[in-house]
Structure 1
Amino acid sequence: MFTRYYQPQKDICVDETLVGTRGRTAMLQYIPSKHSKFGVKFWVLAESATGYIVRMSCYLGKKFQPVTSGVCQETSVELDLLRESELLGRGYHVFCDNFFTSVELAKALLRMGTFLTGTIRSNRRIPSTIKEANVLPGNTIFMRQGRILLAAHKGMERKRPVRLLSTAIPSDLSRGVPAMVSAYNKNMGGVDGADMQFSFYSNMRKSLKVWKKMAFHILQRMLLNSYVLYKSNTSEKAMSRLQFIQEVIEGLALRHLNELDCPTIPVQPRQTPEKTKLVKLAGHLQKDCSVCSDRALGIRRRSRMVCQKCRKGVHISCKRQHKCSEE
């Protein structure tokens, strides 16, 4: 559905996101690196530049989604997302983290006309030169097999080298940093960027109903995608995302009222009462406070301050309770 009105750019990324909930469900996952830690996990395919969600897939857990024999989970997840989005064989460049990246996945995507770049774990099937690389700070080791390029790079401030795989980026260096590292840092944040934008105007509420959390999450994803569509198709100065959300809500509410044939009542602007201004009496003159003084009850409290309009005595502490007779 998300690819019907929008064609994503060449660089896309695959990552996971978590819908935070502590409700009872077999789909509940624990991911300590996420803000919510507990929740329902979604596999997400997004455009790197804008964070536009191309495809989402809910992970149901091992009980309902057992791993197919002979195929790794990360490989099947990424291939399914690309296949269901109809992006395979069209020259797209996929960026992913070390959970997904493997030599087997890179070969499978190459056969389908799709490129891959990502970090790779040292326990994957890679040459020992890269797996056990003892790299000095600021240096890089490259290995190539056909279109597949492996690298082990150690930054000046890192204690351990980072290992990467790419089937599209050459072994170029820019100021000692491989081109694949720069490309990965630039294009891998699509899903995380969408999560960040999503959190700014989130309407999530506390609820133990898991289906309710998931439904509202999907609706907000659709709203975020619609804002990306709006920005990419408007020729005028784009409104802010908050203004866009308000316009969508008002438009849906007006449409609902029109369907019910309800007369619309114009909203009157709220009038804020003027604040009481106090002035000091000349000399040592005093007047009874109009708020806390009552001679009928034998309570006499005098003030040297009076209201500027009605000229009645008012203590500074009674200013808020004073009702001016001139208003």
Structure 2
Amino acid sequence: MIRFTGRSSATTVVKNKPTPHGFKVWVVAQGGLFLRWIWHKPGSSFGPIGLPIQRKRKRGADEEPRLSLTQRVVVYLVSLLPCAIYHVFFDNLFSSPDLFRILRKEGWGATGTARSNCGFYRPFVQMKAADKAGGSELGYNEVRTAATPDNLVNQIIWKDHVLVMFLSTVHTGADFELRQRKRPTARTAQSQPIRTFFGNEEVKVFPIPSIAAAYNDEMGGVDRGDQRRAGKGYDHHVSLSFKPKGSLIGSPSGVRLTGGSAFLMLLSTLTDQPALQGRFFELVTQSHQKYSIFASEGKTLQPA
């Protein structure tokens, strides 16, 4: 979410978010850098801007599974990246076995948490419900796995302080990695197994499933990007009449800003120039230098 409190038909309200009111943007990120993104316009007739229209299913034809609008955003954003093999991580807002099958068909690996109503293995869903009620069948750090009937997607549950549900086309649930964990402060019935495991120790180093370790390491790219924007953006409020204009062009001396209001937000209009975006981020994210942005025509980015 990009904060904006002015009047606009393009703003969205998402309650319980750090930025509840503003422009909604769908982003694929790595290490806090936004690689590709598409804008979102609220309303049943709109949604993610630029998303290809899903063709109608022909009667009797064996076609790929139908995805929700939110799930199609994942496939579309990854398709905008340079042609390569990717391992994509996302949370349970997007996950379903059908989405993972399509990503696998495209040659991309995927790992994500899942919700009980996404089509997950029924016995595991029942175990999740029992865990919520404080009657978990699993001990702390115990793993159970089951493949989908077509053997294309792994369904994995892991008992942390709560029972976590994963889908993956990369991890099997059989591999473990050493991690340092702190004893949780929660004292619910769900967290009893982990409190028993830690005993009086505040910190322990022990193996946890590789899928959980990788998910914790790789998730949060968008959140880290939001932190970068908050810490390295321009230090004034956006005017209600703010309209990004101008363009970025490459030059031997670096990146040049020309023609009108040259602000960091200008970068969000350059979705078709990934090479230039990378150069721009390389300049402005160097921790040992600060760069000034000049709005007048012909000025270049120089160390302050």
TM over 0.5: yes
- Report the counterpart of residue 150 of structure 1 in structure 2: 155
Q: Say yes or no: does 1:226 pair with 2:279.
A: yes
Deviations 1:279-318 (Å, cap 9, x if unpaired)?
A: xxxxxxxxxxxxxxxxxxxxxxxxxxxxxxxxxxxxxxxx
Aligned equivalent of 1:74, options 41, 47, 70:
70
Task: Tell me the SS of whatever aligns to 2:36.
Answer: strand
- Report the counterpart of residue 51 of structure 1 in structure 2: 32
- Counterpart CA distance in 2 for 1:32 and 1:243 is 37
Unaligned runs of 5+ in 2: 49-53, 57-65, 128-135, 178-205, 246-261, 271-275
- Counterpart CA distance in 2 for 1:66 and 1:43 is 10
Aligned equivalent of 2:8, options 13, 25, 34:
25
- Counterpart CA distance in 1 for 2:78 and 2:221 is 16
- Report the counterpart of residue 292 of structure 1 in structure 2: none
- Note if contact 2:4-2:22 (Cα within 8 Å) is conserved in structure 1: yes
Task: Tell me the SS of whatever aligns to 2:88.
Answer: strand
- Note if contact 2:40-2:47 (Cα within 8 Å) is conserved in structure 1: no
- Counterpart CA distance in 2 for 1:116 and 1:228 is 26
- Counterpart CA distance in 2 for 1:210 and 1:20 is 14
1:10-21 correspondence runs (5 A): 18-21=1-4
Aligned equivalent of 1:202, options 233, 252, 257:
233
1:1-327 correspondence runs (5 A): 18-47=1-30, 50-65=31-46, 70-87=66-83, 90-133=84-127, 134=136, 135-145=138-148, 146-155=151-160, 158=161, 160-171=162-173, 172-174=175-177, 175-203=206-234, 205-207=236-238, 209=240, 212=243, 218-219=265-266, 225-226=278-279, 228-230=281-283, 240-241=286-287, 243-246=289-292, 249=293, 255-256=298-299
Deviation at 1:138, TM superposition (A): 2.5
- Note if contact 2:67-2:98 (Cα within 8 Å) is conserved in structure 1: no
Which deviates the most, 62-71 or 167-176? 62-71
- Note if contact 1:103-1:125 (Cα within 8 Å) is conserved in structure 2: yes
Identity of matched residues, % = 23
Evaluate the alpha carbon distance shift between residue 111 and residue 58 of structure 1 in structure 2; reply closer, same or farther with a 3 A threshold: same
Unaligned runs of 5+ in 1: 1-17, 232-238, 258-327
Instruction: Report which of the two structures shows the higher radius of gyration computed on alpha carbons.
Output: 1
Evaluate the alpha carbon distance shift between residue 64 and residue 225 of structure 1 in structure 2; reply closer, same or farther with a 3 A threshold: farther
Deviations 1:165-212 (Å, cap 9, x if unpaired)?
A: 111123213335211110011111211111111111222643463864
- Counterpart CA distance in 2 for 1:132 and 1:33 is 28
| Corresponding residue pairs, total | 223
Letter matched to residue 81 of structure 1: L
Deviations 1:66-99 (Å, cap 9, x if unpaired)?
A: 6967430122111111223344xx3211111111
- Counterpart CA distance in 2 for 1:255 and 1:201 is 23
- Counterpart CA distance in 1 for 2:126 and 2:164 is 11
Deviations 1:35-55 (Å, cap 9, x if unpaired)?
A: 2211111000112xx322211
Evaluate the alpha carbon distance shift between residue 147 and residue 229 of structure 1 in structure 2; reply closer, same or farther with a 3 A threshold: farther
- Note if contact 1:122-1:131 (Cα within 8 Å) is conserved in structure 2: yes
- TM-score between both structures, scaled by the size of structure 2: 0.63
Task: Tell me the SS of whatever aligns to 2:41.
Answer: coil
